[in-house]
A and B are shown apart, each in its own frame.
Chain A
Amino acid sequence: MSAPGGSDRETWPLFEVFVRAARGLSHVHAGSLHAPDAEMALRNARDLYTRRGEGTSVWVVPADAITTSDPDAKGAFFESPAGKNYRHARYYTASEGVPHL
């Protein structure tokens, strides 16, 4: 990476933002933003993604630190479970009085 300020066309690095709406919920991907570093990314995320009181906690992750699945390999990656009904625990009878099954 070139030195900051080295080019007029440079932009800040990209960060992905994850916001937790309430205690007990997971952080959910809210969007992305540019920031000069992680500390400023957190502040920008606060301004951009929690301005209507959406959040109790925010994570920011450098976008290039995220490894993603290959969209072209969807078939091999995700379709294999199809037809393998034995992977779903559907053949058991639920015991009486056990909630949330």
Chain B
Amino acid sequence: MSAPGQASAPEPRVTVDEIALSAELAGGDARPASAEIAEYALWLGDDALILAQQLSAWISRAPELEEDVALGNIALDLLGHARSLLHYAGAWDGRSEDDLAYWRDEPEFRSAWLFEQPNGDFAQTIARQLAASVYWFELYSRLQDSADPTLAAVSAKAVKEVEYHRDHAVQWTLRLAGGTDESRRRMLRAVADVWPYVGELFRDEPLTDALAGGGVAVRPSALREPFDAVIAAVFAEAGIETPTAFASAGGGRRGSHAAPLGFILAEMQVLARAHPGATW
């Protein structure tokens, strides 16, 4: 298909080989300056990878074809963030992004629990998207000024993408909450189901404390207030009360995970493990 108004322009050649793909990685081929920075990149990369994998499961199952494409696009954006971050994390000890994605087991994953929560119905996915994209927007807006040039470059690219993801989630939250009785019932239930996992995102860890001191990382607790302000405005418009009752223990940053992650990893890793080194 040619672009409108550019009928004579040649299509850019799209090749899916390793050389063409590595040019897409934000941040290039730098190596982290310390094991701590590599670990931080791993945390952020795992968050993005797990949600990318989860959202991909919507393809062919969304309420309409158009929404299939929207969720697929978001999943691919997140996979791009994951690739850049895991590529960078792996450069510390010579592991590739594929080594990290396919050959680690559950306790080695550092993703927060929010991202492994099930897709559920469409409202549940939107509630999870809302929390995730508002959090990421606040994180990457600040991390683009990181003292680490690779994290800054990846964040500068990611922030524009998650701004769109945030808009998508906000629009759907308003429509589901203000739609029919059924859509409102589902949206309220979804927010109640997802919100216990929000707190973990803003928990400071010794690693983030150490890196935030040097201007490399963003202190998670510093993101809580701007996150709450955005969510409060959305929920006010949607007529949703912010749940406060209960916060999950979490523990993803230490490799402690709830049941869903095992199934997500099994599906994500089975092909790579059945055919090591396969390319297609």
Contacts and interface: CB of A to CB of B under 8 A. Distances in A.
Nearest to A3: B180
A4 B63 CA distance: 13
Nearest to A39: B171
Max count, chain A CB within 10 A of own CB: residue among B64, B66, B70, B73: B66
Interface string B184-225: 000000000000000000000000000000000000000000
A43 B70 contact: yes
Given A12-B64, A28-B5, A43-B171, A5 B183 contact: yes
Contacts of A40: 171, 175
A90 to B, nearest CB: 28
A47 B69 CA distance: 7
Contacts of B8: none
Interface stretch (A19-27, A68-76, A91-99): A19-27
From DSSP, what is the main secondary structure of chain B's interface residues? helix
Contacts of A21: 3-6
Interface residues of B, number: 19
From DSSP, what is the main secondary structure of chain A's interface residues? loop
A33 B68 CA distance: 12
B70 to A, nearest CB: 5
Given A34-B64, A34-B65, A43 B168 contact: yes
A56 to B, nearest CB: 10
Contacts of A47: 66, 69-70, 73
Interface in B145-178: 167-168, 171, 175
Contacts of B179: 4-5
Contacts of B168: 43
B243 to A, nearest CB: 25
Contacts, number: 55
Interface residues of A, number: 30
Nearest to B172: A40
B70 A44 contact: yes
A47 B75 CA distance: 12
A5 B183 CA distance: 9
A48 interface: yes
Nearest to B175: A36
B181 to A, nearest CB: 8
A35 B4 contact: no
B141 to A, nearest CB: 21
B18 interface: no
A9 interface: no
B70 A25 contact: no
8 contacts: A25-B5, A26-B5, A28-B5, A33-B66, A34-B64, A43-B171, A47-B66, A54-B6
Interface of B: 3-6, 64-67, 69-70, 73, 167-168, 171, 175, 179-180, 182-183
Given A34-B65, A44-B67, A54-B4, 9 more contacts: A5-B179, A22-B5, A26-B5, A39-B171, A40-B171, A43-B70, A44-B66, A48-B66, A55-B4
